[in-house]
Structure 1
């Protein structure tokens, strides 16, 4: 083969390789853009169904609480779901969405229902139903709400108005042979106190209000003998 022929053959082969490469790039780029665009630009279709918590969810979002799903209601619910990572985020007012909203309500104002007295000065409130406690002065929440573990079946935490009457920072229970740090007694042998395990572990206490160590320590610094305690509700399963 002549030098000129070899040169032409080499050029043809190079052109073919370049064409294949450009073709691959040309195919890959549109696919990437299409996939990327689809993932970020297409939102789930809004549902027209009315959820079981429609009125509650509408009220929470500041929408007209008529219990009927409108396109505007759906978009507002869907936006909330997307911001809070709730799936499916189709604007359906279901139990998961309402539970997330209830948690927000509790954080904002645990006494929104007005069940704990607001006219007795400082009060340590205990809601057995929600298994939470907080300290308030009048209508102002000073600490909490925090999770607690109250009495189990047969050893329920007694409800009603009480007062702290005895405190023991490093208490030892001779009855149950266990430490009760930052114990503040308000009803017989029932007290606020820290525990080493989880406050979410079943089945519950023997009547005391079990707390995380940091929360019990804060209660110790905020409460004193004579301060009010109000216990209400009913622990699920008791």
Structure 2
């Protein structure tokens, strides 16, 4: 009886170890990490030893040492600042436009305000912060904003939405070869480029949040000097279609209201003379790149 009991115990112990290993493997393989409580794939953890706690005996509570169990708090550096971020990369609103206008007064933003917080705005904010001994995060917190308000005046309507031509953005890498309509959402410009050289440029306007202009690499599918939208029934002179119903075209509304309005997804141009000359140069099949 004694020998039989010893054998039975050995068999049960081996089965228990096999079940634990199988359960861990299933968690790692399941969707989203399987069981959800493990912090790392099981394949990187040591295999259970014969001294591993059984399912019937609760494991001891983890200690505060670095070698604590999987429930131990992960060590992470304490945050350096609890300042609330007011504006950051990716934001698009009128406060960002005011930020850009104020930065421009101090020569930290060298183009017309667009209302979009991109890499150019972040670089300007970072430069302003460094000069004032503030953490150069590139994002605007309350301290940065108040310091900027104290050093600038309230922007005029012309400073917020100037009629001058926007400064070109650095061309996207996809624009450097061949014949390309290189369109930047950040600087709100269109550059007609041939083999990396800018032939002409102009201000542009894009779709609203509800009808956004698609980003990516396209080609001019067809052109129409005179065209009326079959959906919105509005004129689209000098239309160059590149993505379904989206096209580069002249907009009388853009010419009259500027950035107070938006398109239904097309790339609007307000300088009719420039676009007319561009229309004559662009061929069906030429590349179109729309980027931030």
DSSP-derived class of the 1:134 partner: strand
Query: 1:178 Cα deviation (Å)?
Result: 1.4
Q: Structure 1, residues 51-108: CA drift from partner, whole Å, max 9, x if none?
A: x899969xxxxxxxxx559xxxxxxxxxxxxxxxxxxxxxx899x9xx9xxxx9x74x
DSSP-derived class of the 2:231 partner: coil
1:203 counterpart = 2:261: yes
Q: Which of 164, 167, 177 is 2:220 aligned to?
A: 164
Query: 1:168 Cα deviation (Å)?
Result: 0.6
Query: 1:120 Cα deviation (Å)?
Result: 2.9
Q: Which residue matches 1:216?
A: 275
Q: TM-score, normalised by structure 1?
A: 0.51
Where does 1:1-238 land on structure 2 (aligned, <5 Å)? 107=167, 110-112=168-170, 114-144=171-201, 146-199=202-255, 200-212=258-270, 213-233=272-292
Aligned mates of 1:227, 1:202 — CA distance in 2? 31
Q: Structure 1, residues 98-146: CA drift from partner, whole Å, max 9, x if none?
A: x9xxxx9x74xx243x4252443111011112211111123211001x1
DSSP-derived class of the 1:179 partner: coil
DSSP-derived class of the 1:221 partner: helix
Q: Structure 1, residues 156-182: CA drift from partner, whole Å, max 9, x if none?
A: 000000000110111121211111111
The one of the two structures with greater contact order (alpha-carbon pairs below 8 A, sep at least 6) is 1
DSSP-derived class of the 1:225 partner: coil
Q: Structure 1, residues 26-75: CA drift from partner, whole Å, max 9, x if none?
A: xxxxxxxxxxxxxxxxxxxxxxxxxx899969xxxxxxxxx559xxxxxx
More strand by share: 1
Q: Is the 8 A contact 1:162 1:187 kept in 2?
A: yes
Q: TM-score, normalised by structure 2?
A: 0.42
1:170–1:121 CA distance, 2 compared to 1 (3 A): same
Structure 2 portions without partners, runs of 5+: 1-102, 110-129, 133-150
Q: Is the 8 A contact 1:192 1:216 kept in 2?
A: no
Structure 1 portions without partners, runs of 5+: 1-51, 58-66, 70-91, 234-238
